[in-house]
Amino acid sequence: MNRLKELRNAEELSLQQLGDMCGRSKAHIHELEKQGANPTIKTAYMIAKVLDKSVYDIWPDTTEIVEETIIVRRVLAKT
């Protein structure tokens, strides 16, 4: 079960609008809504960010999500 369609409609976003905002196709968002596909972690977090919800708000049956954070630092050489 997911609440993606319900939350998207509450924000008055079309499938196309949400897809554009997340960098995903309208068809992909539709598949996620009807549970024909599972989101990647990246997609789940992108959708949650756009909808200003947690991933668990959208996919309440999710038992575990592994979040990886990669930090890239550039060290400037002293001249």
List pLDDT tens digits, range 23-74: 999 999 999 999 888 888 889 989 999 999 988 899 887 765 555 555 556 6
Helices assigned H by DSSP within 1-79: 4-10, 15-22, 26-33, 41-51, 55-58
Residue 6 has pLDDT above 80, yes or no: yes
The per-residue pLDDT for 75 is 67
Are 58 and 3 contacting, i.e. CB atoms less than 8 angstroms apart? yes
Distance separating alpha carbons of residues 19 and 76, to the nearest angstrom:
38
Query: Domain span at residue 72?
Result: 1-79
**Which residue type occupies 31?**
E
Q: Rounded distance, CA 51 to CA 4, Å?
A: 9
Domain harbouring 73, CATH code: 1.10.260.40
Number of domains in the chain: 1
